[in-house]
Amino acid sequence: MPMVKKTIPNLKMHPFETTLMGVLKGVAEYFDIAVSDAWLFGGSGHAFLINIHEKLWPSGPYVWKYDAFYKLVRNLGISMKDP
Q: How far lies 31's CA from each of 17, 56, 57, 81, in Å? A: 22, 39, 38, 17
Burial of 40 (0-12, 13-18, 19+ CB in 10 A): buried
What integer pLDDT is reported at residue 47 of this predicted model?
86
If one counts every other C-beta atom within 10 angstroms of the C-beta of residue 28, the result is: 21
pTM, to two decimals: 0.75
The amino acid at residue 28 is A
Going residue by residue through the chain, which has 83 residues, state the pLDDT in tens, using 9 for 90 and above: 677 888 888 889 999 888 889 999 999 999 999 999 999 999 998 888 766 667 766 656 566 778 888 999 998 999 988 76
Q: 35 near 76, Cβ under 8 Å?
A: yes
What integer pLDDT is reported at residue 1 of this predicted model?
67
